[in-house]
Structure 1
Amino acid sequence: MRAPDGPIALVDRAASLLERPGRVVLGIAGSPGAGKSTVTSSLLSALASRLGPDAVGHLPMDGFHLADAQLDRLGLRDRKGAPETFDVDGYVAALRRLHDEPGRTLYAPGFERDLEQPIAAAIAISPSVRLVVTEGNYLLLHSGGWERVRPLCAEVWFVEVDDDVRRERLVRRHEQFGKSADAARAWVEDVDEPNAALVASTRDAADRLVDAVSLGG
């Protein structure tokens, strides 16, 4: 694992992955609130400018959240965001299809933040896409089915930010989507932080560290 790189070096590195044959998947991992989505958005924009928008795709892990109806059935509603509250089999299958069926458009679920629910077939990755960026908390997890993700990625980078900043971001995010200040802080403490500790334990398995601030995260 290398020390954090600057934004230009990261874009150069991502583009260089295309020297490999076939389609390439780059993973972006990190704890809740670390800035993965913002970093990924900046990286995708820079790569689209360099490679062309038709050559770059995005497959976020968040689309594979289990719907609330399933979480209620499984008794997991109060742990939403934990590894077992995702359809890891569906996520792995989508990643495999990116490699095994490059000539077919992949339709995958997205995640609607306002609804806090997955939306079927919200994402389309066309055959022209050579480099797919996928981001999520558990890309480097070694158990629960998640261990199948890492072999499907050319590299996985780990996004970091100061823990106090990360926690405050999470509180604001939960407040934005309807929780009271007290409820938001309780959710961060009881749900998000145990997940963050689990994700942090996978840090050393990453190929690179990314300073979230360096790419606008």
Structure 2
Amino acid sequence: MEEQVERLVDKVWDQYKDAPASKRLLVAVSGIPGSGKTTLAAKVSNRLNEKHAQESPGTSNSNPLSAFIPMDGYHLSRAQLDAMPDSTNAHARRGAAFTFDGESFYRLVKKLREPICPETQTLYAPSFDHSIKDPVDNDIAIAASVRIVIFEGNYCSLNKDPWKHAAEMMDERWFVDVDFEVARKRLIYRHIKAGIAANEEEAGKRADENDLVNGQEVVDHRLDVHELIKSQEDAAWAPEEQGVGDGKDSGTQEEMAGYV
């Protein structure tokens, strides 16, 4: 995995160096649930910030070059799911495209596409708080100094409104490809560890009836991508075991929420 990360980091870095100072580079990392897209996106973003710090001595950690924006924050809240005509199904299918606020995501992408100028203000994206099982508005800051934004989520390359409009505004679209059986094993492990399922049977049922159904839609309705990255069945793709982070913005949302 590390070789893939370094290659992608170098690719984005070269584009950043060639881009005008007024432009942000936007990268969308998509894949089915359990593909490892969160792991990859977080690693690339972290490595870009490390590279920036190495090449720009004195750079503050509070002034990162790259921002990592998981799609978890765009889940509809439980209250919004309650208000749907079939609220029981909406909760059971949480993680499907219709249970996300795609329009708000699209609005953020459009704002990030505007040229950076002296008047540019900090923008904010929502995060997801697992203790309350709901999004937290305006929790991830994207300062004017951020030049690279790495998004990750199931639907970042989905060829359906409004997702496709946001996807078409990206400089790079990457898709993390994984065998469904490998993803299913990961999802069962994660659902049990996160307390979403009590045992393997319950976790497998959730994977089969929700996660992998969503995954099939992602595969069947994917836009063309610039990079197709193969996720193998190895420990490097398991952030909860490798310590990629344990905070709500650290890159573990997909694995621990059990939704995206």
Q: Same fold (TM over 0.5)?
A: yes
Q: One-letter code of the match for 2:28?
A: G
Which is bigger in relative contact order (C-alpha 8 A, separation at least 6)?
Answer: 1
5+ residue gaps, structure 1, are none
How far off its partner does 1:87 sit? 0.4
The 5-angstrom pairing of residues 174-189 of structure 1 reads 174-178=191-195, 179-181=197-199, 182-189=201-208
In the alignment, which residue of structure 2 is the partner of 1:11? Answer: 9
Structure 2: how far apart are the matches of 1:119 and 1:65?
A: 10
Aligned residue number for residue 150 of structure 1:
167
- Partners of 2:185 and 2:129 lie apart in 1 by 22
Name the SS for the 2:113 alignment partner.
Answer: helix
Name the stretch that deviates more: 177-186 or 131-140: 177-186
Q: CA RMSD in A?
A: 2.0
| Structure with max Cα Rg | 2
**Total equivalences in the alignment:** 213
Query: Are the aligned partners of 1:26 and 1:156 in contact in 2 as well (CA < 8 Å)?
Result: yes
Match of 1:63 among 67, 73, 88: 73
Find the counterpart in structure 1 of residue 113 from structure 2: 99
Q: Show the counterpart of 1:140.
A: 157
Q: 2:236 maps to which residue?
A: 216
Q: Does 1:163 align with 2:180?
A: yes
Secondary structure class of the residue paired with 2:158: coil
Q: Is the 8 A contact 1:7 1:215 kept in 2?
A: no
Shift of 1:31: 0.4
Identity %: 32
Structure 1 segments of 4+ aligned residues over 4 angstroms from their partners: none
Instruction: Choose which of 96, 100, 112 in structure 1 pairs with 2:129.
Output: 112
CA distance in 2 between partners of 1:174 and 1:163 (Å):
16
State how far apart, in whole Å, the 2-side matches of 1:94 and 1:119 are: 15
Are 1:39 and 1:215, in contact at CA under 8 Å, matched by a contact in 2? no
1:151 CA displacement: 1.9
Shift of 1:215: 10
Relative distance call for 1:101 and 1:14 in structure 2 (3 A) is closer
| 2:142 aligned partner | 125
Letter in 1 for 2:9: V
Q: Is the 8 A contact 1:110 1:121 kept in 2?
A: yes
Deviation at 1:130, TM superposition (A): 0.4
Q: Distance in 1 between matches of 2:162 and 2:179?
A: 29
| TM-superposition CA deviations, 1:105-135 (whole Å, max 9, x none) | 0111001234432111210010100000001
- Tell me, what secondary structure is at the counterpart of 1:152? coil
Unpaired runs of at least 5, structure 2: 54-60, 238-260
Distance 1:201 1:70 in 2: 27
Match for 1:20: what amino acid?
A
